[in-house]
Every structure is written in structure tokens, then in C-alpha cells.
Structure 1
């Protein structure tokens, strides 16, 4: 093999080893980030619930610190502004997440993910009447920065049935002074909705598995180079 081919092979080996090692480190970093998130969720879930509108964040930076906190608020529902998020499953059944703004005592509004309801299998756009209490109500739940987004085509995020809901865009659309938080309701209510909200999935094991695969591939690249370029030629020269 000519000198430039040997140099090219060495360069490819080093490049492949560095790349796979870097990918392994990146997976370990992702695992560490998710472990930190899991710890934050557990700590915030044990803190004293935020009570009342005055305790809730009004800005995005402050909302980050209240993510996953428990909260208790009072206000009045705006049923005309109810939104149904499509293609949301519970126990493997397709249906809707039902979200309704709650006007708080100070005039601001908090979007509440009230619960889940099944879809009409004959007509997915047909919505059964929704029971919404009138007057002042008190709602308890867990705060979140928003609802997990699903893929949607252009124009799918308008109307009473939509695929996703962006709080900032909805505030502009509705004209409400909407807070940058979403409340996942956990308190009982006579509205026929289910509220079995799982905690955010923090699966770190897959990242450790990916990291092992990348490091193993890095080791294999180096081992093959050492075998074919160093050990095997020496062994062949002695026989």
C-alpha cells in the first residue's frame, strides 16, 4: 500500500473513532440532562402548592421555575373558548384533550387542560355537549409550559378542534391576558372527563444503551485498524 493510502486510512480511522466517541459522550450528556429534569420534577412536585393568581408567573422566565409545580386557583370558566386537541390517546383509545381558559380574580386567564374525552367514531368532528360549571370554581392541578406537540399540516391549529395549541398564539387569537403556563387539572369535577395525567417520561436507559453502542463501535474501529495494520502484518512476516 502506498504512503498516501496508508495516511488516508489512518485519517479515516482516527476520524471514525473520534466521531463515534463524541456521539457516545453526547448520549451520556443527554442522559445527565434527563436525570436532572427528573430530579427537578420530583422536587417541584413536593413543594407547597402555589395558591391563587398572585402566585402564578406572568413571564416566560418565571414560568420556567414553576414548571411541574402544583397549584390551586379560582376563577370563572370561558366555555366558548374551549379547545379540543385531536389525536390524543388515553389507555390506547383515541380522543381529545379538552382545554378551557379560566379567568382568574385579577382578570388574567390560565389555560386549563381539564381532561380527556373519547372521539365519536362515526364523525370525528362531532362533539357531545360538555358540562362546564357556571360561576366561580376552584381548580387544582400541575403546572406545565404547554402541551406536547404533534405533527400538523398547515391550517390545522385553528377552530374548536385542532392538533396543537401554542399559548402565545392563542393569547393573540383570543385577546385574553393569558399566562405562559398550562394547568393540568387533577381535582375532581362533574364534567365526565378523565384526568389520568402521567408524569413526563424521562427514559435515560435508552441513552446509556446508545452510548454503549457508540463506544463499542469506536473500540471496534480502533481494534480493526490495529489488527490489520499492525498485528497481522507482523504475524505474517514471522511465518
Structure 2
């Protein structure tokens, strides 16, 4: 009876861990497909202001992420936001976001993640100078969703943080209501060489495929180990290896 209980437990364990390994391989395949789609998207021709507005009306925002853009307009420097506790190369600082009023017959504004500046450890409110030209500018970059949010104890509980240029997070809908700007549904991550006092060495886009291969290797390894231990202790030692004769 004990033998059959152990056999059933081993079969369940081996099957479950093997299934988890297959699931991780499937996740890796999905991530590879996503990475290929992102790469293909990034190789498409850049969207101008008019084409961007049209694309946002016809295509879900998630399907436009990482699409390149080449925009002309004017910075709305009075509405610049500094997102705190953002890192670049492991150094804490601020992501600088400024709305860009797009050139074109239809009024539209896009929020541009312009780059990163280091923080002043003696005075958090002392911001490094950022050059924001008043005249027409050309901005190249890629489309992105709203800036990633960091953990907050109570989002929106501090009214000062909702009006200060230095913020932990940015609620785009609330920012649109505060400023009255006709903000588009997506933001732009500005690319290119460092300029205007900003660094733009953004992290490389990583789909995380290697992580899933690592998990799959671990699950298949556990499955194989369970199979080897079962064969050794329940089959080889019990049935295959000849039993030692008494007095031998």
C-alpha cells in the first residue's frame, strides 16, 4: 500500500512540475512574440502630429506603444513636472515631463518624458537647470503609456503633491483637468543624445524571455530529480537490485 501511495505522489509531482516547465516555455514564446512585435513597431516610419492623432482615434493605445514619432511644436514649460525617486544607472533623481503643444490645425498636446536629472541630496527642492526653449522645437521619440507609478502610502491624499511641480506620481487624467490642456491619451519618451541638461540613456526594452527559460529549467530539473529519486528508491532498490542473501 505504501508503495502505491508513493508512486501516486511521485506521478503527480513529476507531472505537475513538468507542466509548470511547459507553461514557462509557453510564456517565453509569448514574450518572444511580444518582443518581435515591439521591434517591428519600432522600425515603422515615425508618426507626425496629424498621423498620431488619427492613429489614436483608430488604434488602441496599447497597440501603438514603442511606435516612433517625429513631432514639431512648442514646449509648455510652465506645466513641467518632475517625477521624484526615479533612477538612471542606479542614481536617484527626477524624470522631467513637459507638455508639447503640437503644430497642426487641431489643438493637441502630448506629454513628453524628456529625460532625467540628478537630485540634490542637500535640498530636494533644488532642481538642476533644464533648458526649455520658448520657440518651435522638433522632438523625436517613441510612444509610451503614462509614466510608471511608484508606491504611495495614500495616492491623492496630499493636495500639495497634486499641484507641486515635484511629484511622486502623475495622474494624467487629474493633470489634464488641472491644466485644461487637450492632452492626448499617450505620452512620448524623447530619445536621442543628451541635451538641455537632461540625460536620455533610457533602459533597454527587455521582454524578460530569459527569466522564463530559467524558471522552465528549474521546473524540469525538479521533475527529473523526482523521477530519478523514485526510480532509485522505489524500483531499483526494491525490484531491480538483487536482494542480499542472508549470510552472504
Normalized against structure 1, the TM-score is what?
0.84
The residue number in structure 1 matching 2:37 is 40
- Aligned partners of 1:31 and 1:237: how far apart in 2? 46
How far 1:129 sits from its partner (Å)? 4.7
Verify: 1:151 aligned to 2:151, yes or no: yes
Q: How far apart in 2 are the matches of 1:197 and 1:11?
A: 51
1:65 alignment counterpart? 63
- What CA deviation, in whole Å up to 9, does each residue of 1:102-131 have, x standing for no partner? 122322221101111110110123324533
Mapping of 1:15-30 within 5 angstroms? Answer: 15-30=12-27
Residues 1:77 and 1:84: Cα distance change in structure 2 (over 3 Å)? same
1:100 corresponds to which of 98, 101, 116: 98
Give 1:207 shift.
1.9
CA RMSD for the aligned pairs? 2.6
Q: 1:13 to 1:188 in 2, by over 3 A?
A: closer
Q: Distance in 2 between matches of 1:220 and 1:109?
A: 58
Aligned residues: 236
CA pair 8-147 structure 1, distance change in 2 beyond 3 A? farther
Instruction: Give the one of 224, 231, 236 matched to 1:231.
Output: 236
Name whichever of 159-168 and 205-214 sits farther off.
Answer: 159-168
Q: Name structure 2 gaps, 5 residues minimum.
A: none
- Structure 1 CA distance for aligned equivalents of residues 154 and 183 of structure 2: 24
Q: Which runs of 5+ in 1 are unaligned?
A: none
Q: Which residue of 2 aligns with 1:197?
A: 202
In the aligned structure 1, how far is the partner of 2:193 from the partner of 2:212?
37
TM-score calculated relative to the size of structure 2? 0.82
Confirm or deny: 8 A CA contact 2:71 2:139 kept in the other structure. yes
Q: In the alignment, does 2:7 pair up with 1:10?
A: yes
